[in-house]
């Protein structure tokens, strides 16, 4: 169903150029179709801000709900930004005050980079808690990604995440624990998903707070959990929104950091991500870069295009299906509040349930 380009956010045009259905505001207002208004709190660092923006907005646009999707990106002033990103946010993003006054049907909150040993020490902690507290009372559902999951679980349940000995980084096989849950409707019972994190909340911690673990991996831990009321808060620890090259970009960033002296050792490859051929290309580049650095010469160009052709996205369809199910539940809960017609399969007496 269509996204509505209700402001001049460049992501709308990029998605349209890529074949996504994006309506102009003028065209949208002439159609008699239900609207869903979705907030998007983007806390990602500058280098990943617009990519994350596009990834999540594309997921929303891929939903098959009978609705027009209005997406309202916003950020937090307390996050450290460069001038170019500040200008992008000032021109294309909304203020939380305006969004709160207008109201939303749902909210997505991304992860963020941290610089302190505990989340409460971050400059963005208090304003993030204000957003979460407002959303708890005013939004049908909140979908949290990565660090946002850790922050909300800490805020709502007093549970601290724990540091992993070695960064969980790569693509991992997962299994659905509760296939009957409405978020898992028409989703394969086994699928891949990427992870990229130094910290985790364990299954035992989620369940101690009465949060249902829907999807987990024997190697990567919990991928997806939900609040007891089925979907009011959705917790992702993995990254279903990642593009095929997202982990490749992270690997390149770590290689550059190594040769800039910002890390002691060269980075390992993301697990289960590089094929044997991709590993050969990456290894050859690293050796060539080491020789150049030892000789005091400029590093050779990183083989972005060659490696991009050798990595696969094995998780995107599953991520889209879960987000589609989430938006379907939001659609029906808000339909219940507005006394509108329900979609097939929803129990009108209890919109938090799927009819058998």
Q: Could you give the CA distance from residue 193 to residue 172 in angstroms, rounded to a whole number?
A: 6
CB-CB neighbours of 305 under 10 Å: 8
Which of 122, 200, 216, 241 is the catalytic position? 241
Check: CB of residue 249 under 8 Å from CB of residue 302.
Answer: no
Q: Could you give the CA distance from residue 288 to residue 293 in angstroms, rounded to a whole number?
A: 9
Task: Report DSSP state, residue 19.
Answer: T
> CA angle, 219 as apex, 217 and 222 as ends, to 5°?
40
CB-CB neighbours of 15 under 10 Å: 19
- 144 in catalytic set: no
Kind and range of the H or E run holding 216: strand 212-217
Alpha-carbon torsion, ordered 135, 94, 116, 253, to 10 deg: 120
Structure tokens at 262: 């910002």
The strands making up 68-74's β-sheet, listed across from edge to edge, are: 22-24, 3-5, 68-74, 35-41, 106-109, 141-145, 233-236, 221-226, 212-217, 162-176, 190-200
Check: CB of residue 236 under 8 Å from CB of residue 149.
Answer: yes
The angle, 0 to 180 degrees and rounded to 10, between the axes of the packed helices 83-92 and 46-61 is: 30
Q: Could you give the CA distance from residue 74 to residue 195 in angstroms, rounded to a whole number?
A: 24
Residue keyed to tokens 């020490």 = 121
Which of 37, 239, 250, 254 is the catalytic position? 239
Check: CB of residue 122 under 8 Å from CB of residue 116.
Answer: yes
Check: CB of residue 50 under 8 Å from CB of residue 88.
Answer: yes
Which of 88, 146, 174, 336 is the catalytic position? 146
Would you name the residues annotated as active-site residues?
146, 239, 241
């Amino acid at each position: 169903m269509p996204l509505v380009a209700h402001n001049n956010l460049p992501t709308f045009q990029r998605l349209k150029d890529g074949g996504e259905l994006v309506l102009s505001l003028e065209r949208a207002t002439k159609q008699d179709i239900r609207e869903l208004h979705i907030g998007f709190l983007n806390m990602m660092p500058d280098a990943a801000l617009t990519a994350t923006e596009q990834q999540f907005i594309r997921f929303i646009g891929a939903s098959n709900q009978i609705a027009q999707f209005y997406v309202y990106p916003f950020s937090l002033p307390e996050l450290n930004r460069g001038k170019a990103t500040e200008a992008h946010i000032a021109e294309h993003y909304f203020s939380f005050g305006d969004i709160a006054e207008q109201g939303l049907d749902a909210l997505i909150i991304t992860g963020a980079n941290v610089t302190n040993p505990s989340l409460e020490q971050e400059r963005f902690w208090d304003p993030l808690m204000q957003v979460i507290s407002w959303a708890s009372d005013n939004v049908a559902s909140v979908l949290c990604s990565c660090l946002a999951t850790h922050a909300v679980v800490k805020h709502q349940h007093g549970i601290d995440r724990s540091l992993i000995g070695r960064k969980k980084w790569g693509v991992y096989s997962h299994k659905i624990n509760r296939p009957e849950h409405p978020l898992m409707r028409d989703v394969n019972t086994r699928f891949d998903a990427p992870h990229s994190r130094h910290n985790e909340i364990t299954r035992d911690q989620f369940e101690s707070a009465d949060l249902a673990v829907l999807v987990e991996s024997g190697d990567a831990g919990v991928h997806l959990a939900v609040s007891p009321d089925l979907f009011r808060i959705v917790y992702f620890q993995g990254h279903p929104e990642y593009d095929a090259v997202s982990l490749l970009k992270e690997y390149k960033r770590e290689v550059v950091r190594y040769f800039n002296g910002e890390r002691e050792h060269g980075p390992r490859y993301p697990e289960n991500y590089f094929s044997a051929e991709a590993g050969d290309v990456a290894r050859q580049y690293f050796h060539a870069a080491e020789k150049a650095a030892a000789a005091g010469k400029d590093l050779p160009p990183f083989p972005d295009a060659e490696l991009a052709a050798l990595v696969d996205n094995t998780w995107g369809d599953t991520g889209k299906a879960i987000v589609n199910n989430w938006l379907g539940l939001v659609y029906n809960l808000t339909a219940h509040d507005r006394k509108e017609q329900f979609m097939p399969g929803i129990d009108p007496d209890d919109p938090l349930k799927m009819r058998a």
